[in-house]
């Protein structure tokens, strides 16, 4: 019998280095990196790590801004059989050290400007020979000089489907970030399932406009690399810079979070012609207001604006008007059947509810994580068991299905406002106020009320050209809202607090009002 090896991302990437060596694998501020050069550097990383004692399944922490170094270290760690643990440079020293300890990492690579995020005591068990920096620093090994000494030979390794490939940390909008541990098989489904849905192939040029520690970035990065395409590394997003990058590099695909799209649409220098090469914008991370989505569709008629809703932990829905999946206004689409995705809506008693009824979204699929690394209790709490025995993840999001299987979101369960015993969904309020032409972004939160217990407060970030007052905006919005939905007042803000994945931290917005009360 012929022994056929398992299909794997590392093996396919090695073939691109052989079959199309001079094609561009990545473009960054350092210039053009060919597939041969990328895999040469990745193999040097892999062989260097194995030479220092790395065994398959060992964790490797990476703390970098988007850069060529981060990309090659992600690929090199995967090729080594190690587990990629990319951390956010927005995290404090305390959080970086805590995550490094929690991951049980045996190796650390850091960009020079982030070295201060690591306390020496927290790295005591990781010797200097296993700590690498992009600049000379006492107690750290110089990355480039170490890399130059390693072999570029392709490692003779196997990558079992159930072996771990990455630990990406959750956004932590409701507490301490948790490490999502995924297998090689789960990540392989990104190119095999999401790639075709997004139209990603060998000719794709995908701009990475979000950080590589963001799970959403992997939804376009992995399919592009797997297909032998090119990734363009956007090191610091701005509306103007993004348009220039797309125009200059003729980018075809991008993953973006709603905040980026809001900034892009509001940019005074917005030029649809500069985005003429784009085929697909994949949107996820938070709900995009319907009016904003339609406005973008009008401005970018040639672009397929796809929405993906789900959890980085392991289930997704997909909505696209041009990929044969259908699109319904206000919906985030249907579960991705190609990944064996099933989603149920459950009530407070964990019972499945009928279409049209709002409840908590719970889902499962073959994208599913293995668990939260080193935290079995958090894994247990996240799971709901279907009557058929299958494990589903609780999302903490509220939503409902229509009779045709399209999913609609109703906000975070913890963000729901209960005023006089009536459930008020923040997303309903936000959707109305986002349609005002002077509004850039809003957040509806619950504040204490003597009579009703809670009442809605609308916080708004306005466009520079805005002329309406807080009271004027409140009156305008309340005229369109139901009696129980009307906001008590409107307050203008210059910005909102955000986590490392750019999600609004509503708990921080609520906290001062409840402390005062």
Domain encompassing residue 457:
416-516
- Residue 414: pLDDT over 60: yes
Predicted TM-score (pTM) of the model is 0.87
Q: Between 502 and 273, whose confidence is greater? A: 273
Point out the least confidently predicted range of 139-143, 205-209, 377-381, 423-427: 423-427
- Whether 347 is in a domain gets the answer yes
- Residue 296: pLDDT over 90: no
Length of the chain, in residues? 517
Select from 361, 395, 413 the last residue of a domain.
413
- Whether 307 is in a domain gets the answer yes
- Same domain, yes or no, for 241 and 389? yes
Cα–Cα dist 265/279, whole Å: 17
Phi-psi domain of 481 (left: phi exceeds 0; alpha: psi -120 through 50; beta: other)? beta
- Same domain, yes or no, for 37 and 123? yes
- Residue 365: pLDDT over 90: yes
Q: Between 165 and 502, whose confidence is greater? A: 165
Helix or strand run (H / E) with residue 318? strand 315-319
- Residue 99: pLDDT over 50: yes
Q: Between 414 and 84, whose confidence is greater? A: 84
- CATH number assigned to the domain comprising residue 473: 3.30.300.30
- Whether 481 is in a domain gets the answer yes
Overall average pLDDT of the 452-478 stretch? 93
- Residue 51: pLDDT over 70: yes
Overall average pLDDT of the 467-483 stretch? 93
- Same domain, yes or no, for 269 and 368? yes
Pairing of strands 315-319, 334-335: antiparallel
- Same domain, yes or no, for 112 and 154? yes
Backbone angles phi, psi at 348, to 5 degrees: -65, -15
In the chain, pLDDT over 90 holds for what percent of residues?
68
pLDDT at 243: 96
Cα–Cα dist 230/81, whole Å: 23
- Residue 257: pLDDT over 80: yes
For tokens 């075709």, what's the residue?
A: 196
Give, rounded to a whole angstrom, the gap between the first and last alpha carbons of the chain: 73
Select from 382, 413, 444 the last residue of a domain.
413
Instruction: List 417's β-bridge partners, or say none.
Output: 424
- CATH number assigned to the domain comprising residue 276: 3.40.50.12780
Asked if 220 and 252 count as a contact pair (C-beta separation under 8 A), the reply is no
**DSSP string computed for 103-143:** HT-SEEEE-GGGGGGS-GGGGTTS-GGGEEESS--TTSEEH
**DSSP string computed for 205-226:** EEEE-S-TTSHHHHHHHHHHHH
- Whether 23 is in a domain gets the answer no
- Residue 289: pLDDT over 50: yes
- Residue 352: pLDDT over 60: yes
- The residues, any chain, with a CB within 8 Å of residue 177's CB and separated by 6 or more, are 95, 99, 169, 170, 171
CA dihedral of 10, 13, 17, 22, whole degrees rounded to 10 = -150
Work out the pLDDT band at 279, boundaries 50, 70, 90. Answer: very high
Point out the least confidently predicted range of 49-53, 86-90, 201-205: 86-90
Cα–Cα dist 91/45, whole Å: 26
Helix or strand run (H / E) with residue 169? strand 164-169
Question: Among 86, 108, 105, which Cα is nearest to 177's?
Answer: 86
Cα–Cα dist 509/514, whole Å: 10
- Same domain, yes or no, for 420 and 409? no
- Residue 324: pLDDT over 50: no
Work out the pLDDT band at 515, boundaries 50, 70, 90. Answer: confident
- Same domain, yes or no, for 356 and 449? no
Overall average pLDDT of the 89-115 stretch? 90
Q: What are 143-178's pLDDT values in tens digits?
A: 999 999 999 999 999 999 999 999 998 764 445 678
- Same domain, yes or no, for 470 and 452? yes
Overall average pLDDT of the 454-469 stretch? 93
Work out the pLDDT band at 416, boundaries 50, 70, 90. Answer: confident
Tokens of 344: 């149920």
- Whether 133 is in a domain gets the answer yes
- Using DSSP, state whether 366 is helix, strand or coil: coil
Cα–Cα dist 436/487, whole Å: 15
Cα–Cα dist 459/489, whole Å: 9
- Same domain, yes or no, for 351 and 442? no
Q: What is the DSSP letter of 190?
A: I
Overall average pLDDT of the 260-271 stretch? 87
- CATH number assigned to the domain comprising residue 125: 3.40.50.980
- Whether 476 is in a domain gets the answer yes
Helix or strand run (H / E) with residue 459? strand 453-462
Overall average pLDDT of the 23-38 stretch? 97
Select from 110, 130, 159 the last residue of a domain.
159
- Same domain, yes or no, for 404 and 496? no
Instruction: List 61's β-bridge partners, or say none.
Output: 85, 108
- Whether 183 is in a domain gets the answer no
Point out the least confidently predicted range of 104-113, 298-307, 408-417: 408-417
**DSSP string computed for 411-440:** EEGGG-EEETTEEE-HHHHHHHHHTSTTEE
- The residues, any chain, with a CB within 8 Å of residue 301's CB and separated by 6 or more, are none
- Same domain, yes or no, for 401 and 431? no
- Whether 343 is in a domain gets the answer yes
pLDDT at 174: 45
Indicate the number of domains in the chain: 3
- Same domain, yes or no, for 129 and 91? yes
- The residues, any chain, with a CB within 8 Å of residue 87's CB and separated by 6 or more, are 61, 62, 63, 96, 99, 100, 169, 213
Round the average pLDDT of the chain to a whole number and report it.
91
- Same domain, yes or no, for 403 and 464? no
- Using DSSP, state whether 512 is helix, strand or coil: helix
Overall average pLDDT of the 7-23 stretch? 98
Handedness of CA 369, 194, 14, 236 (dihedral sign): negative
CA distance to 34, 35, 123, 142, 488, per residue, from 45 (Å):
17, 15, 21, 13, 57
Helix or strand run (H / E) with residue 73? helix 68-80
């Amino acid at each position: 019998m012929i022994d056929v090896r398992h299909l794997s991302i590392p093996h396919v990437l090695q073939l691109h280095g052989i079959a199309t060596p001079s094609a561009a694998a990545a473009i960054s501020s350092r210039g053009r990196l060919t597939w041969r050069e990328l895999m040469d550097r990745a193999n040097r990383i892999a062989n260097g790590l194995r030479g220092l004692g790395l065994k398959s399944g060992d964790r490797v922490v990476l703390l970098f801004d988007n850069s060529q170094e981060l990309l090659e270290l992600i690929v090199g760690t995967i090729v080594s059989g190690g587990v990629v643990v990319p951390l956010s440079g927005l995290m404090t020293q305390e959080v970086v050290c805590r995550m490094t300890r929690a991951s049980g990492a045996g190796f650390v690579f850091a960009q020079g400007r982030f070295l201060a995020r690591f306390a020496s005591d927290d790295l005591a068990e990781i010797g200097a020979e296993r700590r690498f920096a992009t600049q000379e620093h006492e107690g750290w090994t110089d990355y480039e000089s170490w890399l130059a000494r390693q072999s570029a030979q392709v490692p003779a390794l196997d990558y079992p489907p159930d072996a771990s490939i990455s630990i990406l940390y959750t956004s932590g909008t409701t507490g301490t970030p948790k490490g999502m541990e995924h297998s090689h098989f789960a990540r392989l489904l990104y190119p095999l399932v999401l790639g075709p849905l997004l139209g990603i192939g060998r000719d794709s040029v995908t701009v990475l406009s979000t950080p590589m520690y963001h799970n959403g970035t992997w939804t376009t990065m992995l399919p592009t690399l797997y297909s032998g395409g090119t990734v363009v590394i956007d090191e610091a997003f701005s509306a103007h810079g993004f348009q220039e990058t797309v125009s200059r590099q003729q980018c075809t695909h991008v993953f973006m979070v709603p905040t980026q799209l809001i900034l892009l649409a509001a940019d005074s220098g917005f030029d649809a012609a500069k985005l003429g090469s784009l085929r697909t914008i994949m949107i996820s991370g938070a709900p995009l207001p319907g009016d904003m989505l339609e406005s973008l569709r009008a401005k970018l008629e040639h672009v397929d604006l796809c929405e993906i809703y789900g959890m980085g932990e392991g289930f997704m829905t997909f909505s696209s008007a041009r990929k044969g999946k259908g699109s319904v206004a206000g919906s985030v689409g249907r579960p991705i059947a190609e990944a064996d995705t099933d989603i149920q809506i459950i009530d407070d008693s964990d019972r499945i509810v009928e279409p049209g009824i709002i409840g908590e979204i719970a889902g499962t699929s073959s994208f599913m994580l293995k668990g939260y690394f080193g935290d079995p209790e958090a894994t247990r709490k996240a799971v709901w068991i279907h009557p058929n025995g299958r494990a589903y993840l609780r999302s903490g999001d509220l939503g409902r299905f229509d009779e045709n299987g399209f999913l609609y979101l109703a906000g975070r369960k913890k963000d729901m406002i209960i005023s006089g015993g009536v459930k008020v969904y923040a997303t309903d309020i936000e959707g109305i106020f986002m349609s005002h032409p002077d509004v850039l972004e809003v957040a509806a939160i619950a504040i204490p009320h003597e009579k009703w217990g809670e009442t809605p407060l609308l916080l708004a970030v306005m466009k520079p050209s805005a002329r309406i007052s807080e009271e004027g905006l409140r009156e305008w919005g309340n005229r369109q809202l139901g009696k129980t939905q009307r906001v008590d007042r409107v307050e203008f803000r210059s910005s909102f607090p955000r986590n490392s994945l750019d999600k609004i931290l509503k708990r921080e917005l609520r906290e001062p009002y409840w402390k005062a009360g």
